[in-house]
Amino acid sequence: MSILVIGSVALDTIETPFGKRKDILGGSATYFSYSASFFTGVNLVAVIGDDFPKKHIGLLKSRGINLDGLKVIKNGKTFRWSGSYKYDMNEATTHSTDLNVFETFNPQIPERYKNSEYVLLANIDPDLQLNVLSQVKKPKLIAADSMNLWINTKKPSLMKLLKKIDIFIINEGEARLFTKQPSLIKAGRMILGYGPKHVVVKKGEHGCLLFSKNGFFSAPAYPIEDIFDPTGAGDTFAGGFIGYLAKLNKTHTEHDLRKAIVYGSVMASFNVESFSLERLKKLTDKEIQARYKQFKEFTHIK
Amino acid sequence: MSILVIGSVALDTIETPFGKRKDILGGSATYFSYSASFFTGVNLVAVIGDDFPKKHIGLLKSRGINLDGLKVIKNGKTFRWSGSYKYDMNEATTHSTDLNVFETFNPQIPERYKNSEYVLLANIDPDLQLNVLSQVKKPKLIAADSMNLWINTKKPSLMKLLKKIDIFIINEGEARLFTKQPSLIKAGRMILGYGPKHVVVKKGEHGCLLFSKNGFFSAPAYPIEDIFDPTGAGDTFAGGFIGYLAKLNKTHTEHDLRKAIVYGSVMASFNVESFSLERLKKLTDKEIQARYKQFKEFTHIK
């Protein structure tokens, strides 16, 4: 079952202890779509300027990602993000966020996307996320990501969104910011109380926590010796996570969710091995399955 | 099989966001012994001053901990540590460390301790750890803890110690400090190269990592909503971890080590629920087994 994803398609300028890159392919919807495409079909909704390199379009198309919903603005400038990572690579410092064509984006969902049963609202303005949601006819599973910017500036819209979705994905620092709780366990349970059926708290190199009404799951990260660039790890995680659930295409059990989280973690582990989508471009299904198997072995208690 | 433990028995002054306590029972050997006593016998080696409250001695004795090796220095002052924790409770800020009677401590292992097969060298000067080790006849399993102070001031002694032990237990920040590696995965493997058969990297609320020559295990922490005081969590962890292995009293497999780590995590999860040993004092075997079972369930992938 295909996933409808709305989010950013961007050009990133990134500095890590291992190097610097200017205007490389990035964006939440880009990472999500590419990652999810290993599991299922993807219908992308986003906006770019006509400065966006054609080769990137070709790359997304090569994975079968449907781009009918990718709007190109004539004389527009693509969304740009610039950031850097310190020594421990756990948190990005944002240097600049130029929304550009996203500033006036009014997403129109193509007719053939409107029957999508799986929807991923990647990290963009919660009002845009709500707008998209209102155009989808009968979604079966809706997941959303967000960030500190929206928690700080658009909390009412975010709270409204949380009542309409099944899975909310957020990172550790944002969960603490959102709830003003130092305890992640309390924070996760508190967000669950805001409406979603499940909350995933991402903790970077420390893995993630899944909170459900009647369940709790703690997953480590796949052990990577050299994290080269963590940009997009969360979106790549979401791609594997929701991608696997959409592939199953059935009412998921707690154990389906856990397996989905492991697939998400595995996808993220590949992504952090290089800048942009460089590692994912070379990724094979065999490699995904091998790491999935290893992941289970690394956490197994007899 | 009883464990010989050498470490500190101390009086702590602690401030957390939840309160402040002065001169409460603490010390690495105290927490370790009390925790391990739920699994096996413990022979303690430490030194205190005659200012040490008798009720604490009674408490340790009530758990069957052998105190033949607890030296009391007349007119001596017990080791004191003072520290505080910030909002996220992940790291202590040390305000003062008064070694007092530990400054001139020359540990003499009681004759009947010398045949101990399980040895835990809790966090004290690595020269004292080496000294104790030289007095033990035929140890079957030796584990040691350390800290940033000794990494910074006694690295050669620590490196010498690492060649003689089976399990080295260290926390996240110390592992990075020790190896100058931002990646914990690299740091753990590098320390493994210094000599020990296994390295455990403790990550507080994020659990721990176990590195072995042919194995890797990642365990989350047991999810505690309110961490009241993390002091002694690492030593309580070590108590459950080594306590379980000593109780097994056989050549351990990778899976025995994993189970032992879960018992350690469970013991630590109780300890952080109150100041000093307050929670452990009320702890029952039934509660330990219940959390062990829950822990397995929280990490299980079908």
Average pLDDT over residues A242-252: 96
Least confident of A242-246, B32-36, B139-143, B148-152: B148-152
Confidence of residue A87 (pLDDT cuts 50, 70, 90): confident
Comparing alpha-carbon positions, the chain B residue that sits nearest to A89 is B182
Secondary structure (H, E, C), chain A: CCEEEECCCEEEEEEECCEEEEEEEECHHHHHHHHHCCCCCEEEEEEEECCCCHHHHHHHHHCCCEEEEEEEECCCCCCEEEEEECCCCCCEEEEEEECHHHHHCCCCCCHHHCCCCEEEECCCCHHHHHHHHHHCCCCCEEEEECCHHHHHHCHHHHHHHHCCCCEEEEEHHHHHHHHCCCCHHHHHHHHHCCCCCEEEEECHHHCEEEEECCEEEEECCCCCCCCCCCCCHHHHHHHHHHHHHHHHCCCCCHHHHHHHHHHHHHHHHHHCCCCCCHHHHCCCHHHHHHHHHHHHHHHCCC
Per-residue pLDDT tens digits for B187-198:
999 999 999 999
Answer whether residue A59 shows pLDDT above 90. yes
Answer whether residue A18 shows pLDDT above 90. no
Confidence of residue B158 (pLDDT cuts 50, 70, 90): very high
A197 touches B at CB < 8 Å: no
Answer whether residue B124 shows pLDDT above 80. yes
How much is the pLDDT for B127? Answer: 94
- Inspect the interface and report whether the beta carbons of A17 and B182 lie closer than 8 Å: yes
> Which residue from B189, B216, B302 is facing A298, i.e. has the nearest CB?
B216
Per-residue pLDDT tens digits for B14-59:
999 889 999 999 999 999 999 999 999 999 999 999 999 999 999 9
CA A29 to each of CA A43, A63, A245, B18, B69: distance values in angstroms, whole numbers, following the listed order? 10, 14, 17, 42, 64
Handedness of CA A183, A186, A191, A192 (dihedral sign): positive
Residues of B within 8 A of A90 (CB-CB) are none
Least confident of A215-224, A268-277, B84-93, B251-260: B84-93
Average pLDDT over residues A83-94: 82
Interface of A with B in 209-268 (CB under 8 A): 209, 216-221, 223-227, 255, 258-259, 262
Mutate to test the interface with B, among A217, A218, A293 (most CBs of B within 10 A): A218
A145 residue type, one letter: D
Q: Exposed, middle or buried: residue B58 (CB in 10 Å: 0-12, 13-18, 19+)?
A: exposed
Confidence of residue A91 (pLDDT cuts 50, 70, 90): confident
Confidence of residue A5 (pLDDT cuts 50, 70, 90): very high
> Which residue from A89, A182, A258 is facing B182, i.e. has the nearest CB?
A89
Comparing alpha-carbon positions, the chain B residue that sits nearest to A298 is B217
Handedness of CA A60, A62, A66, A72 (dihedral sign): positive
Answer whether residue B201 shows pLDDT above 90. yes
Confidence of residue A191 (pLDDT cuts 50, 70, 90): very high
Average pLDDT over residues A124-144: 94
Least confident of A115-124, A242-251, B85-94, B291-300: B85-94
Domains of chain B and any CATH numbers: 3-299 (3.40.1190.20)
Average pLDDT along chain A? 95
Measured CA to CA, the distance from residue A195 to residue A192 in angstroms comes to: 6
> Which residue from B186, B255, B298 is facing A217, i.e. has the nearest CB?
B298
Average pLDDT along chain B? 95
Answer whether residue B62 shows pLDDT above 80. yes
Per-residue pLDDT tens digits for B214-240:
899 999 999 998 889 999 999 999 999
Mutate to test the interface with B, among A171, A179, A225, A257 (most CBs of B within 10 A): A225
- Inspect the interface and report whether the beta carbons of A206 and B206 lie closer than 8 Å: yes
Average pLDDT over residues B175-196: 95
How much is the pLDDT for B182? Answer: 85
Confidence of residue B91 (pLDDT cuts 50, 70, 90): confident
How much is the pLDDT for A165? Answer: 98
- Inspect the interface and report whether the beta carbons of B302 and A259 lie closer than 8 Å: yes
A206 touches B at CB < 8 Å: yes
Residues of B within 8 A of A229 (CB-CB) are none
How much is the pLDDT for B301? Answer: 94
Average pLDDT over residues A102-111: 91
- The answer to whether the beta carbons of residues A264 and A247 sit under 8 Å apart is no
Per-residue pLDDT tens digits for B96-122:
999 999 999 989 899 999 989 999 999
Chain B closest CA to A10's CA: distance in Å? 28
Measured CA to CA, the distance from residue B111 to residue B68 in angstroms comes to: 10
Per-residue pLDDT tens digits for A144-187:
999 988 999 999 999 999 999 999 999 999 999 999 998 899 99
Structure tokens at A202: 């991402």
Comparing alpha-carbon positions, the chain B residue that sits nearest to A204 is B206
Pairing of strands A167-171, A198-202: parallel
**What pTM value is reported for the model?**
0.93
Which of residues A69 and A1 earns the better pLDDT score? A69
